Copies of this chain bind each other. A is one copy, B any other.
Amino acid sequence: MTTITGATRLVGIVGDPVRQVKGFAEYAEAFAARGLDAVYLPMHVRAGELAAFLAGARRMRNLAGLVATIPHKQEAFALAEPDAAARRAGSANLLRPAAGGGWECSMADGAGFVAAVEAAGMTIRGRTVQILGAGGAGRAVAMAAAEQGPARIAVHDTDCARAERLAADIAREFPGLPVAQALGESEMLVNCSPVGMNDDTRLPLSEALIPRGGDVYDIVNRPDTPLVVAARRLGCRADHGRSMMLAQIPIVTSWLFGP
């Protein structure tokens, strides 16, 4: 529940679709706890229209900033001045107006992912980690996972060139770490592909490759994704995107409104 005034600052989450987005009550609570007169809102912007939208949104002087979700994370990066996290991920999920005009961007998916898996008692260090999906979120999660010291990382995407590019970028950033563009066995499996979103009932990989007794994290924000359901049935520790979304709220709030 949010009380709007003429002085309320706006924070939009831009996506296509945007109906499935969650977290509005949690953002409202976080803003209220910090005493911010601000509201978190859905903004439905279609793929390919982010640049045109941003040009107009820049004129909305009470817009504190934007959270970008599918399919806008790579376009957000291309349209704004990135910080270190966004530069390494090659994608961005946060945008704010830059002082001199235009936009600055950051990428909080990686930090949110690491905070969420730690909170869930999962382990990245020393393990074989399989990442599915080399899009905006997949890149950020893979880079953040690589930083935690896994034994090796494999990345997979139905778009092979995209997976190859991510594997090469991780290898360059983390020279000692074995990295492959591959789909195989793992001890920790992370789904960053959109498979399983909304009413998609598919698994993002063959059930045989779900790591029995290992950790499974599905960044899709729904407690009963096909992957999470199968992983729990197979005895995995499993968690889903809600914890990653929640872990990002303080990160997003500080980035937009200051610490």
Contact = CB atoms under 8 A, between A and B. Distances in A.
Contacts of A49: 59
A84 interface: no
A57 B5 CA distance: 21
B7 A42 contact: yes
A217 interface: no
A21 interface: yes
Q: How many copies does the complex hold?
A: 2
B18 A44 contact: no
A43 B18 contact: no
A77 interface: no
A19 B7 contact: yes
Nearest to A5: B24
A183 interface: no
B2 A42 contact: no
A78 interface: no
Interface residues of A, number: 37
Contacts of A42: 4-8, 10, 62
A36 to B, nearest CB: 15
A61 interface: yes
Nearest to A52: B59
A59 B20 CA distance: 19
B10 A43 contact: yes
Given A1-B1, A4-B2, A56-B53, A62 B43 contact: yes
A45 interface: yes
Given A6-B18, A56-B59, A41 B43 contact: no
A47 to B, nearest CB: 11
Interface string A15-48: 0001111101100100000000001111111100
B4 A3 contact: no
A54 interface: yes
A61 B19 CA distance: 11
A234 interface: no
